[in-house]
A and B are shown apart, each in its own frame.
Chain A
Amino acid sequence: MSLESKISILKDRAEMLSQARLFFSKKHILEVDTPLLSSTAPIDAHIDIMTTKMHDGRLGYFHSSPEYAMKRLISAGLENIYQISHVYRFGEEGHLHNPEFCMVEWYESPCSFDKIIDNTVDFIKIFLSGLPVKIASYEETLQKYTGLSLKNATENSLAEYIKEHSPEAPNDIFFWDIDTLLQYIVSFLIEPFLGNDELFVIKYFPASQAALSQVTEHDNLKVAERFEIYYKGIELANGYHELSDSAEQRTRFSISNKKRVELNKEPLPLDELLLKALEKGLPDCCGVAVGFDRLMMLRHKKKTIAEVIPMAWSEV
Chain B
Amino acid sequence: MAQYSTGDVRPGFKIEVEGEPYNVVSNEFVKPGKGQPFNRIKLKHLKTSRVVEKTFKSGEKVDVADVEETKMRMLYKEADDAIFMDDNSFEQINVPLSLIGDNEQWLMEEVLYSITFYKGIAIDVQPPTFMEMKITETAPGVRGDTSGRVLKPAILESGAKVQVPIFIEEGEKIKVDTRTGEYVSRV
**A17 / chain B contacts, CB cutoff of 8 Å:** none
B20 to chain A, nearest CB (A): 13
- The winner among B29, B35, B37, B58 for most chain A CB atoms within 10 A is B35
Size range of the chain B interface in the assembly: 20 to 34
Query: Given contacts A97-B29, A170-B54, A170-B55, are A92 and B37 in contact (CB under 8 A)?
Result: yes
**A91 / chain B contacts, CB cutoff of 8 Å:** 7, 58-59
B35 touches A209 (CB 8 A): yes
State how many residues of chain A have any CB contact under 8 Å with chain B: 29
B29 touches A183 (CB 8 A): no
> B102 at the A/B interface (Cβ < 8 Å)?
no
**B145 / chain A contacts, CB cutoff of 8 Å:** none
B152 to chain A, nearest CB (A): 42
- The winner among B32, B52, B57 for most chain A CB atoms within 10 A is B32
B18 touches A183 (CB 8 A): no
A222 to chain B, nearest CB (A): 17
Task: Name the residue of chain B whose CB is nearest to the CB of A47.
Answer: B34
A239 to chain B, nearest CB (A): 10
Give the interface segment out of A104-112, A125-133, A184-192, A278-286: A184-192
> B40 at the A/B interface (Cβ < 8 Å)?
yes
A263 touches B53 (CB 8 A): no
Interface positions, chain B 25-48, Cβ under 8 Å from A, are 28-38, 40
A183 touches B55 (CB 8 A): no
> B13 at the A/B interface (Cβ < 8 Å)?
no
- The winner among B29, B31, B52 for most chain A CB atoms within 10 A is B31
B130 to chain A, nearest CB (A): 29
Contacting B28 at CB < 8 Å: which of A95, A166, A180, A191?
A: A95
> A153 at the A/B interface (Cβ < 8 Å)?
no
> B183 at the A/B interface (Cβ < 8 Å)?
no
B56 touches A183 (CB 8 A): no
Q: CB-defined interface of A166-177 with B at 8 Å, one 1/0 digit per residue? A: 101111000000
| A228 to B35 Cα, complex, angstroms | 13
Query: Given contacts A95-B28, A166-B55, are A184 and B33 in contact (CB under 8 A)?
Result: no
A235 to chain B, nearest CB (A): 6
Task: Name the residue of chain A whose CB is nearest to the CB of B8.
Answer: A91
Q: CB-defined interface of A34-62 with B at 8 Å, one 1/0 digit per residue? A: 00000000001011000000000000000
A168 touches B53 (CB 8 A): yes
A235 touches B7 (CB 8 A): no
Query: Given contacts A166-B55, A168-B54, A170-B54, are A187 and B34 in contact (CB under 8 A)?
Result: no
- The winner among A170, A171, A235, A263 for most chain B CB atoms within 10 A is A170
A46 touches B37 (CB 8 A): yes
| Residues of A participating in the B interface, judged by any CB pair closer than 8 Å | 44, 46-47, 91-97, 166, 168-171, 179-180, 183-184, 186-188, 191, 209, 211, 228, 235, 238, 263
Of the A-B pairs whose beta carbons lie under 8 Å apart in the complex, a sample of 12, sorted by A's number, is: A92-B37, A94-B28, A94-B30, A97-B31, A168-B54, A169-B55, A170-B56, A171-B18, A184-B38, A187-B31, A188-B30, A263-B59
Given contacts A184-B36, A184-B55, A235-B32, 10 further A-B contacts (CB under 8 A): A47-B34, A94-B30, A97-B29, A168-B54, A170-B56, A180-B35, A186-B32, A187-B30, A187-B32, A191-B32
